[in-house]
Structure 1
Amino acid sequence: MNQTQKKTEYILRKTGQMLLVLFLLSVIVFTLARLCPGDPLRAYYGDGLDRMNEQQKELARDKLGLNDSFPVQYARWAGELVHGDLGISYKYKRPVTEVIGNVWRNTLTLGGLSFLLTFLLAIWLGRLCALRENTWTDRILCRLGVVSGSIPAFFLALLLILLFAVNLRIFPTGGAYSLGHAEDLADRLWHLVLPVTVMVLGHLWYYAYMIRNKLLEETRKDYVMLCKAQGIPRGRILRHYCFRNILPSLLVIMAIAVPHILGGTYVVEMVFAYPGLGTLSFESALYKDYNMLMALCMLTGAVVLVCNLLAQIISEFIDPRMQYETIEEVSA
């Protein structure tokens, strides 16, 4: 078996594992949604349900497919899910895909910007602390990082709103844009300042500390001692040799960060009343909009699994020491 075949087999095997996990996730999500308290008819018709007689209620249940057996309901939902049909939102009375399509860009903007800034700053801080190991700079930054990372995101968000939005009136208290300024990019960015700040402060030092420790672990290796003996400056060693060697580990760390930052985004959206998937999830749970909740759970799970799969494959392509050990065992 040549290298190309091994790569293809490895990718297919990982993809198959991901699809299996998605299938199990769909079964769990659908089961929990059906076991949750509350009447789907109440969620769909609201107070209008009180004006319906038993015959009308039965017809409504048939319309929503609630009278079918559990396996039939799951098979129908899963079949529609595969074809991109996520059902009708009980709260909005519109297709779930249409409702999600109106807000997912806001979450992507907030989460993506927070992710980018978090790791740009984490790499810079990690290298700075590794370069100045055990100095006052390293110790102070470590302690400040521990303090900032220990503050819950919702509490930090409320503090920033109280200080910068209520008292100083510099930034808006929430929302994605001001009334009538939906197309104003500057206004949208202004509304992102506080949410992004909370996201970055909540995750920055955790990943900066991991990068710092990875770099310091790399500086203990023999090739670094050889570079020092040749007179190469420590900063250049960290930039050109150590950082390149920890890149596969950094990609794994970034993959792990996806669910952390995505979950943090959902919390921050609710505090700032930011119209994204997090706010939509909260409203769906509040109104028992189970079709919407199932779709959001599957979407979130798929994003996390795909990011982890891509990061694992990329890291093993970069680092030959990690490549295809499982494939070799299977082939043997």
Structure 2
Amino acid sequence: MFENQAPILLKRTFSRLLGFILTMLILSIVAFVFARCAPGDPLQSFYGDAVESMSTQELTAARTRLGLDAPLTTQYIRWVGNALQGDFGLSLKYKMPAMAVVYPLLGNTLLLGGTAYLLVFLLATLLAIACALHEDTFADRLICRIGTAVYYLPAFWLGVVFILIFSVQLKWLPSSGAYDIGKAGDILNRIQHLVLPVSVLIISHLWYYAYMIRNKLLDELRQDYVLLAKAKGLTKRQIVWRHCLRNVAPTIVSIMAISIPHVLGGTYIAEAVFHYPGIGALSIDSAKYHDYNLLMLLVLITGAVVFLSSMVAQAINERVDPRMKETGVSTWQR
């Protein structure tokens, strides 16, 4: 049995690895070309206002030192060769290796985005179950209307409102940063700084996914086996928790995988609004200051997270629903 499955497993692993490599290659080319073609001068980031007083010869020499004088193809091949060795270039704005700039902030983004991501789907599932159990009641209709209205509130506007209320007026919570100065190891202080950005992320994404899960549960409740379960004396609550929820689990996992770019984008917005030190705010700065090497690294990290999350979700789906192994249906095709 295992001998028969080994070639299939090896083929699937190779296919996914090849897909990951091709995706990263295409993403790097697109990001590289668009970054270089964008208006602006990267020398301004590296030299600041001193660029304005440089002569033509000095500007040419500066471009040569930074490798900006070569043709675009040559620059890309050189960048790929260095990147394969772990060298992602020098950050023009911070004047240090790009990886050294990103690494300290990566943990902050993972903490913020990961916390919000888990809470969104935990609360979305519970809210969907509550709505499905009380379908078409006043509570269900009220939740649907409120959820729809809240979903369309802009995240950046909601963040500003939260800052005005809870930071400026009530002075309950900090309005910026990941922690107070000298309290990087204080867990309670970190939690206080997470409350507002995480709340914005939850409110911005909760109902969108809760509504999809609710509708899937309602479709499941209309299946024939539900009538049989009711005939056996099971209550609606028991049917939902024991049967319906298990049957829609692959769909929930698929939704979670597809939501990664959505939640990650919201995390970047929250970092900008709350001045939270993470790679989202860093991405905005790198694009603003034409910091090519730093921007390339951040784009690849974001792309890798999205792609790998879809692979993990597909693997989980195959465990939950073994039929996917036989049909070869991917997470994105279900």
Q: Give the partner amino acid of 1:255.
A: A
Match of 1:252 among 251, 254, 258: 254
What is the Cα deviation at residue 302 of structure 1?
Answer: 1.0
Stretches of structure 1 that go unaligned for 5 or more consecutive residues are 328-332
What is the Cα deviation at residue 320 of structure 1?
Answer: 2.3
2:15 aligned residue: 13
The alignment partner of 2:57 has SS state of: helix
Q: 4+ runs of 1 displaced by more than 4 Å? A: none
The normalised TM-score by structure 2 is 0.93
What is the Cα deviation at residue 78 of structure 1?
Answer: 1.2
The alignment partner of 2:116 has SS state of: helix
Distance (Å, rounded) in 2 between the aligned partners of 1:326 and 1:111:
31
Distance (Å, rounded) in 2 between the aligned partners of 1:41 and 1:201:
41
Match of 2:64 among 62, 73, 88: 62
Distance (Å, rounded) in 2 between the aligned partners of 1:107 and 1:143:
32
Query: In the alignment, is the contact (CA less than 8 A) between 1:6 and 1:324 conserved in 2?
Result: no
1:234 matches 2:236: yes
What is the Cα deviation at residue 158 of structure 1?
Answer: 0.9
Distance (Å, rounded) in 2 between the aligned partners of 1:297 and 1:242:
39
Query: In the alignment, is the contact (CA less than 8 A) between 1:10 and 1:324 conserved in 2?
Result: no
Match of 1:188 among 186, 190, 202: 190
Query: In the alignment, is the contact (CA less than 8 A) between 2:35 and 2:290 conserved in 1?
Result: no
Q: Give the partner amino acid of 1:185.
A: I
Distance (Å, rounded) in 1 between the aligned partners of 2:133 and 2:17:
40
Match of 1:80 among 77, 82, 86: 82
1:278 aligned residue: 280
Query: In the alignment, is the contact (CA less than 8 A) between 2:258 and 2:310 conserved in 1?
Result: yes
Distance (Å, rounded) in 2 between the aligned partners of 1:317 and 1:74:
40
The alignment partner of 2:40 has SS state of: coil
Q: Give the partner amino acid of 1:7.
A: L
Task: Summarize the alignment of residues 1-332 of structure 1 with structure 2, pairs less than 5 Å apart.
Answer: 2-326=4-328
What is the Cα deviation at residue 11 of structure 1?
Answer: 2.9
Distance (Å, rounded) in 2 between the aligned partners of 1:99 and 1:138:
48
Distance (Å, rounded) in 2 between the aligned partners of 1:324 and 1:313:
13
2:332 aligned residue: none
The alignment partner of 1:93 has SS state of: coil
What is the Cα deviation at residue 40 of structure 1?
Answer: 2.0
The alignment partner of 1:102 has SS state of: helix
**Identity value in percent:** 47
Post-superposition Cα deviations, 1:3-40, rounded to whole Å, max 9, x if no partner, equal 33223312321331222121111110111111111222
Distance (Å, rounded) in 2 between the aligned partners of 1:232 and 1:297:
51
Query: In the alignment, is the contact (CA less than 8 A) between 2:128 and 2:214 conserved in 1?
Result: yes
What CA RMSD, in Å, does the superposition of the two structures yield over aligned residues? 1.6
Distance (Å, rounded) in 1 between the aligned partners of 2:274 and 2:280:
11
Query: In the alignment, is the contact (CA less than 8 A) between 1:149 and 1:201 conserved in 2?
Result: yes
Post-superposition Cα deviations, 1:171-209, rounded to whole Å, max 9, x if no partner, equal 112111223322222111101111110000000111111
Q: Give the partner amino acid of 2:317.
A: S
Distance (Å, rounded) in 1 between the aligned partners of 2:83 and 2:93:
19
Q: Give the partner amino acid of 2:276.
A: Y
Distance (Å, rounded) in 2 between the aligned partners of 1:307 and 1:80:
26
Paired positions, count: 327
1:330 aligned residue: none
Distance (Å, rounded) in 1 between the aligned partners of 2:182 and 2:322:
54
Alpha-carbon distance change, 220 to 153 in structure 1, aligned in 2, over 3 angstroms:
same
Distance (Å, rounded) in 2 between the aligned partners of 1:64 and 1:94:
13
